[in-house]
Amino acid sequence: MASKQALWTCFAIGWLCLGRIGGFHIISSPKYQHQRLLTCCERRIKKNKYANFSKADKLKIDPMDAMIKQSQEQKDILVKERRKLDNFTPCIDYNEKRNRNEILFPDNREIDPYDPTTYGYIELGTITGAHGIKGEIKITAVTDFAERLCQKGLRHVKRPTRRSPRRTLLLGGRHRKDDEYLIQIEGIADRDAANGLRGCVLYAREEEKIENLDDDEYMVRDLVGLDVFLKEGYKNEEGCEEGNKFIGIVNGVVLTEDMSSVSGVGQDLIEISLPRGPGGTSSLKDELVLIPFVPQLVPQIDMSTKSIYIDPPFGLLDLTYTREEKTRIKGFLPPARD
């Protein structure tokens, strides 16, 4: 009995001191509640006891991140300095509304809407990347008139994902080595922007004439389509005079670099279309002949009358050929492989 009484006494004391249990409200000491609240607050604001042994707060910035941050700060400084040095007034307003039908495609079946050289543009070169950190651009030239890459003026840039070039302002350029030039384009002031133009092609409009041509230099587009005649006083093998006789029309020009990779070997050739239709008219049976573009064989070019006079040796005009167009049938599957 004594043990049972002691057990009930302990149970009653615990019942009065523990507070709210199972939904029953039990009287508890306010002092105990205050001490319990302080203990909880102290527990919340207590610091990690292992903080003194942790190295997380003592780590410095990663060296690579530090270099990137320093490079970005230097880049911002260079861009600001570049803008201060450029005191010219740009002749292009990039915010103005673009006229979509400013340049129309000629009504010709030979026009390729994805090849700007077929509708009034001249290819100058292809951008290969950046040079330095000030926005200079490396370009591989394909033009014989490199001054177009060095003189300030309007040019046109075509991105690989675009069909037509867009105008831009060329600030200047200089020769680097071989066919490589370094140019500067308005709005390109750092290496990242210059690398963004990798693969783009630089063009000029045909209306932009070359002013410093020599007397024996001609643009290829000016020669194509000219009428070809035998020179005055020309005599054939039989001794009969055939001066000023109509021969054909210049169909194209074959450049030396297209035939030989060795510089200084060979010469340019003009391709003449010899009409074989009735009455000397053009037909599907027209033949082609190549004439070396040298003063001995092409003594006179009259741009006012759109005429070329040639003095070919005997038998040269007989070396003709025809260009066979390959017919490609679409819709058939390739032959099966064993």
Q: What pLDDT is attached to residue 68?
A: 84
Residue 270, token pair as written in the block:
């003009």
Asked whether the predicted pLDDT for residue 328 surpasses 50, the reply is yes
User: How many residues comprise the chain?
Assistant: 338
Q: Note the pLDDT tens digit of each residue in 243-292.
A: 888 888 998 888 877 776 666 677 889 999 888 777 667 777 788 889 99
Q: Note the pLDDT tens digit of each residue in 35-76.
A: 554 454 455 556 667 767 666 556 667 778 888 888 888 888
Integer Cα distance of 293 and 218 in angstroms:
11
Q: What is the pTM of this model?
A: 0.49
In sequence order, the β-bridge partners of residue 156 are 167, 203
User: In the predicted model, what is the mean pLDDT of the chain?
Assistant: 76
Mean pLDDT throughout 144-157?
85
User: 274-283 long-range contacts, Cβ below 8 Å, gap at least 24?
Assistant: 274/247, 274/248, 274/317, 274/320, 275/248, 275/249, 280/246, 282/249
Higher pLDDT, 22 or 126: 126
C-alpha distances in Å from residue 200, one per residue of 72, 116, 119, 133, 306: 26, 13, 18, 19, 35
Integer Cα distance of 251 and 225 in angstroms:
6
Mean pLDDT throughout 203-208?
81
> Which band of pLDDT confidence, cut at 50, 70 and 90, is reported for residue 203?
very high
In sequence order, the β-bridge partners of residue 21 are 24
Q: What pLDDT is attached to residue 310?
A: 92
Integer Cα distance of 132 and 192 in angstroms:
10
Residue 301, token pair as written in the block:
């070019």
Asked whether the predicted pLDDT for residue 84 surpasses 70, the reply is no
Q: What pLDDT is attached to residue 8?
A: 66
